[in-house]
Structure 1
Amino acid sequence: MTTIDQVAALAKVSAATVSRVLNQSPGVRQQTRERVNRALEKLAYKPNYAAQALARSKEKSLGLIIATLSEPFFMSVADSTGNACQTESIQLITLLGGQSAQTEEAALRSAQEHNCRSIVFHSKYLSDEKLAEILRQTPGLILLNRLLPSHPERCVWLDNICGAEKMVHHLVNLGHRSFVYINSVFEIGDPDDRLAGWKKGLQASGFDPTLLRGECENPTLEGGYRATQRLIKKGVRFTGVLAYDDSMAAGAIRALRDQGIEVPRDVSVVGFNDAYVARFTIPKITTMHYPVEQMAQRAAMLALTYAEERDIGDKNAGRFVPVIVERQSVTFCPEIARGSE
């Protein structure tokens, strides 16, 4: 059986270079890669899969645990984490945590069985107490998109409260005084934090946050449509809609238009996340940018750092603050606009 050393000798490169070509790893010049491939073909090299599996078990690897790969958010997380791993020549192992505490814990066990010393964990269902225990036992684990107050240095998270508060101030500065919200029914932290941020923004602007009315639905186009329909049917008066995300905001725009209410002429609508849908609706949606790619890369780098038991010292290294992306779904309050005519 032909060995890697024989291929290396014929191609006049090191065995490590042959291994990188076989694994399609970066860092090999195209000319060298072609020479190695010609040697592989000439010697009819057949990989020893058992030996490769043993070698992989000794390699550095990072485990990424996310709920699914079918949603754009998680696809971006996986892609950005993969880029970070490629830069560091680290093997990425992606595992699906599903939609329950049991499936999240099962995915974590699988990552540990794959000898992942570094783990980026997007967990929404395990309790704070359970996660604190896991963090104590797993030095190289970083939580993504979740803040655990007992371990802030091990978390990469978006400050939803701050972002939602910023958006309210933006609308208030444009003269808006009457708001409604359409929020997600999912029992995770983001909907609660965004509602808290909207109320905090209203209170800071001199309004009674207890008067804020809203509806909860699935965070989809259809959910945003149904939630807005119910608010219209109840006769609630408003000039600003605070939507949990961009899909719900797009649904709200359609529901308003079906009732002859134009956005932003009559009502301003804001989203959250800066998803693709926000750029292709009519009008395009003013929203809060969610820096998914940067957060995933930061989480990967922190996981690799902590796996080596190196403390970066900055407990706020994982905090990200969303920024407003102004598009076309927001304008001055109608009363203000009429007064200036």
Structure 2
Amino acid sequence: MAIAFNYGSKLFEALLFDDLASQTDGFICERPEWNCQEAGCSHHCNDEGFCECPSDFYLEDLKNCRQQPVERVECFNNYMVALYKSESISSETVVAVNDPTCTNAVSHVGDMVRVEVPLDGCGTTLEYDAESRLLTFTNTLKAVVDKSKPVSIMSKIDKQFSCSYETVSTVDDGSVGLRKGYDFAICSLTYTHSAKKSSSSVSLNGAQAGSFEFKITTYSSSEFSEVDAKAINRVGETLYFAVEPVNVLSNLVYTVDQCEVLSESNLSYELFNINEQRADNYVKLRRYPTYFSDSNGPTCAVAFQDRWSYTVFQFYDLLNPTNQMLQTQFLKCTVLICKKEADMSAGLCASQVCQFLSTEIDRF
């Protein structure tokens, strides 16, 4: 910035010059060297002896190239991160997110300004688009302007960043091993869970893509309070499981809309399918409602655990009729994620979506 004084009226005007040299009478900047052998360029030296940089670098001084900072958004399963170039924000500028009380949301990392906000906090807003079936979380980095002062030397900052998530998620976790005994069969459970810190990192233009993460946990009883630690379950016993979010968000609810049991030999058995409004009572499938209630009453969604049970069974493999000592099975479910609202009488998690479950399944 250069300040041009108008001495005639004793006023001054602030002029922004993209090229300060073009506003002066002229000057000469002497190069330290005139040949490439002694120029000391960090990357390339052209025929005239000037140092040059690759396309994604810039010349920090006359010799050294520095990589351009990359602005981007990273979408995690319970928070999002936006990275901006420090040079786009003046040192005098105080910035904050939608909720200015989140003072730890903004930090400086090298040449970047890093903004991290939870998907359900710091003023993050949530919108659901029924046509695309996307949930979009949005926040904004803004300059905190003291309007009590007549002037401001801070940069005008209004940088919006978003992450969009699909409303359908698939969880496939754990395995069930089936072993034949003399007069009964037993089922070995080996569920393993790892809360991966997965993210989607993409460019800064527009809303970016992220994904939610769920897990399947087996429990020892219908109380769903004690994780099932035993190694085996007999065929014919009841298996209790819950589909749970790895991170609970206060502005979301969800419902499991389909589950199936798969075998290593590609056999499958669908336990239920909300989209088709049907469930298989042969395996005594049951849902244990802990529904989230809106202003109209219970919905089809839950906030923490979607609880189920079914009777452990064995596949009859017609292609391989020999009874195996161990049969491995996998439980796979899909989850519908919904925005938590006061009125959820329409949409993926509306109460009428799962009405058939209470009439067909809960009687067992």
Please give the TM-score of this superposition, normalised by the length of structure 1: 0.26
**More helix per residue:** 1
Please give the TM-score of this superposition, normalised by the length of structure 2: 0.25
